[in-house]
Chain A
Amino acid sequence: DGGITQSPKYLFRKEGQNVTLSCEQNLNHDAMYWYRQDPGQGLRLIYYSQIVNDFQKGDIAEGYSVSREKKESFPLTVTSAQKNPTAFYLCASRIRAGPDTQYFGPGTRLTVL
């Protein structure tokens, strides 16, 4: 089945530790995205990548980092500089050309203790 996988579904970390969230897609999509969701806040864009080895900051990139070494993979690292990292993180992808739809993964809930 084609789709987007995010792992793990639940993640717990101690304050001050960096943590990396995985996002993999087998849809052959060019562009990939990371969003953060907080209760009552909707989704906010963290980073996006339109092609391999290139990525751009979104609206709330501070305290996060990404890499895009392969077309299928777009991992997100939540660093210790992120002041309030506990949230639900959603990865999405789409075909780059045209106004096409973004498809979302199942999400990872990160809790920092």
Chain B
Amino acid sequence: AQSVTQPDIHITVSEGASLELRCNYSYGATPYLFWYVQSPGQGLQLLLKYFSGDTLVQGIKGFEAEFKRSQSSFNLRKPSVHWSDAAEYFCAVRSGGGADGLTFGKGTHLIIQP
């Protein structure tokens, strides 16, 4: 069965500093990968996705992620965080086969220090 691991439950970053959130997945074939962001009590908003092609994908709000097949990773990055980036971040994977639905990691809570 496919799985997603986000090793960091909480991350604290100073405003203006760079950010990297880690995501590792377990899946045999090429997965479809997603990063979502969630503000407290809200639904999920898609930041970016990887289906195929260029392994470095750009998303909204200045985020990017890099798919590394050899490491089974899809880490999310941002060069300079803003206080408004404080939220919960979820990495998710969907298989390309008949199974449907997304498998999510447990999330990383991002705290921004002034």
Contact A42 B107 (CB under 8 A): yes
Contact A99 B102 (CB under 8 A): no
**Which range contains the number of A residues in contact with the other chain?**
20 to 34
CB of B46 to closest CB in A, whole Å: 6
Segment with Cβ contacts to A, from B37-45, B69-77, B79-87: B37-45
The answer to whether A56 and B100 touch (CB under 8 A), given A99-B32, A99-B94, A107-B43, is yes
Q: Is the interface of A mostly helix, strand, loop or mixed?
A: strand
* A contacts, CB < 8 Å to B: 4, 6, 31, 33, 35, 40-45, 48, 50, 56, 58-59, 88, 90, 92, 99, 101-107, 109
* B contacts, CB < 8 Å to A: 4, 9, 32, 34, 36, 41-46, 49, 51, 90, 92, 94, 96, 100-107
